[in-house]
Amino acid sequence: MESKLVSQAFDRVQADAIAALVFEDEPASAELAGFATWLEELRSSGEFTGKPGELAVLHQPGGVVAKRLAVVGAGKRSAFDAAALRRAAGTTVRSLKPKGVKTLAWWLSDGDAAAVVEGAILGNFEPDQHKTSSKDSKALEAFLLAAASISSEVQAGFDRGKILADAQNFTRELVNEPANLMTPMILADRARAMAAEAGLECEILDQDRMRQLGMGSLLGVAQGSAEPPALIVVRYRPAVKPSTGDHLGLVGKGVTFDTGGVSIKPADGMEKMKYDMAGGAAVLGAMRAIAQLKPAIPVTAFVPAVENMVGSRAQRPGDIVTSLSGKTIEVLNTDAEGRLILIDALTYAQRLGCTHLVDAATLTGAIVVALGTVNIGAFTNNDEMLARVLAAAKSEGEKTWHMPLDDEYKDLLKSAFADLGNIGGRYGGAISAAWFLRDFVGDTPWVHLDIAGTAWLDDAKPFLAKGPTGVCVRTFTKLAMGW
């Protein structure tokens, strides 16, 4: 889909449809004056009252060049924000594209241009990469953001929104790939191609290199698969180094498929475990946006990529591995593999000079129990760092909830035979998983985001397709931009 800005009067915009917001508690904007009777009918019949999610369409609107006029509910003015606007634009795209609309114009009367473009581009995404029929008929070809005049602020918002949403869809494409078409090596190739195109440095550590370095924890997970693992490292360096010496490390879990290993998962729903690399894909999507938006801080991404499989070479419950940090771990459950690969990547990030760390991982089913599919769970060893991440998430509309990480929970990870065990028992599972990571980051300011509940939509939303959400791409980018 092509998206562009057009500077034109409302009634002159050429499109299959032009969409305009209508608030629940305000009169319609001046451009809609000619449609007052229609809007009055819609309101009095209850068909359209301006509530969020509502949409009404008028064909051949008099005096307007566009073929259809769509009024879109904006809700109450007091509740209207960038997230509401993003959803409204997404809902409009998703409602109109199956109805033969190929070119959709959005009349920018209220709010941030970035949110509109993001909503439209994200809404246009379909996880139909592998469908061979009936997909072309649904796609929108062009999205026009229209206003009587385009300020530099609108232009900048439009450009930023497009970069962010394209990056988020890049992540969603990676996550949507089935595990036979998204092995650790394929993920590494995709990262390398993205980096080359974006002008970023990329280095792939292979199995031999990781063995030399001593990443026994990561390699223990990988050994059950015929697919070789990779540690993907992508670097962005700003033109001028910040005087603070700060260097942000983004670490993302890249399990391209999680069978659970010998501690195997139930068959029901296991196909979803292709999204166990969503954290890694989010980190790569963020790097793509960062390369274009050029924040002032160096950012390095680390994606430990492995497949967690069952087989004669797979690690067994009770195996003891030595991590890059030197600490030993008793692998009490091979399905708690995310933390095992992340800690070696986190230690490596510290060795490469990262002063601040954020990781994103589909780490635990327990976070889904705790927070459902609405909030990301955030854990930290540093409140200032957390405040930065929460502010970035809030401004991008990615709901994030601060979870506790009191010292008492640490005891859950005790092992009789190694420095620590990789599971903490039935209760507080997301917290013991976070504590496991924390044990390896030491005092480096760090935030862990558990995205098991938020990286995948089981049911489509009016503004977003079923499947991968691309969560964290915007938060990570915002975090780097605001540094």
Residue with tokens 């070809």, as numbered in its chain: 141
Catalytic entry in 97, 339, 388, 478: 339
Q: Which two tokens stand for residue 136?
A: 């072309």
Q: Which residue is nearest to ligand BES (CB)?
A: 365
Q: Which two tokens stand for residue 192?
A: 């390398």
The one-character DSSP state at 199 is T
Q: Please, what is the minimum distance in Å from the beta carbon of residue 335 to Zn ion?
A: 4
Q: Please, what is the minimum distance in Å from the beta carbon of residue 334 to ligand BES?
A: 8
Q: Which residue number, 95 or 362, has a Cβ lying nearer to ligand BES?
A: 362
Residue 364 binding target from ligand BES, Zn ion, none, CB below 5 to 8 Å by type: ligand BES
Conformational region of residue 235, where left means phi above 0, alpha means psi within -120 to 50, and beta covers everything else: beta
Q: Which two tokens stand for residue 30?
A: 């001046």
Residue 392 binding target from ligand BES, Zn ion, none, CB below 5 to 8 Å by type: none
Catalytic entry in 43, 76, 192, 265: 265
Q: Please, what is the minimum distance in Å from the beta carbon of residue 18 to Zn ion?
A: 45
Cα–Cα dist 276/264, whole Å: 15
121 within 8 A of 165, measured Cβ to Cβ: yes
The DSSP result for 444-470, as a single string, is S-EEEEE-TTTSEESS-BTTB-SEE--
| Active-site annotation holds for 339 | yes
Q: Which residues bind Zn ion (CB under 5 A)?
A: 255, 258, 276, 335, 337-338
Q: Please, what is the minimum distance in Å from the beta carbon of residue 345 to ligand BES?
A: 15
Q: Which residue number, 59 or 426, has a Cβ lying nearer to ligand BES?
A: 426
Q: Which residue number, 335 or 359, has a Cβ lying nearer to Zn ion?
A: 335
Q: Which two tokens stand for residue 275?
A: 């999204």
Residue 365 binding target from Zn ion, ligand BES, none, CB below 5 to 8 Å by type: ligand BES
Cα–Cα dist 242/478, whole Å: 17
| Active-site annotation holds for 265 | yes
Q: Which residue number, 118 or 276, has a Cβ lying nearer to ligand BES?
A: 276
Cα–Cα dist 312/309, whole Å: 10
Q: Please, what is the minimum distance in Å from the beta carbon of residue 426 to ligand BES?
A: 9
Residue 429 binding target from Zn ion, ligand BES, none, CB below 5 to 8 Å by type: ligand BES
Q: Please, what is the minimum distance in Å from the beta carbon of residue 429 to ligand BES?
A: 5
Q: Which residue number, 176 or 364, has a Cβ lying nearer to ligand BES?
A: 364
The one-character DSSP state at 120 is H
Bridge-based pairing state of the strands 328-330 and 320-322: antiparallel
Written as one letter, the residue type at 16 is D
Q: Which two tokens stand for residue 141?
A: 């070809």
Residue 452 binding target from ligand BES, Zn ion, none, CB below 5 to 8 Å by type: ligand BES
Q: Which two tokens stand for residue 177?
A: 């790939």
List C-alpha distances in Å: 68 to 56, 58, 63, 346, 360.
10, 6, 11, 53, 42
Residue 333 binding target from Zn ion, ligand BES, none, CB below 5 to 8 Å by type: ligand BES
Q: Which residues bind ligand BES (CB under 6 A)?
A: 258, 260, 276, 333, 335-338, 362-366, 368, 423, 429, 452
Question: Which residues form the catalytic set?
Answer: 265, 339
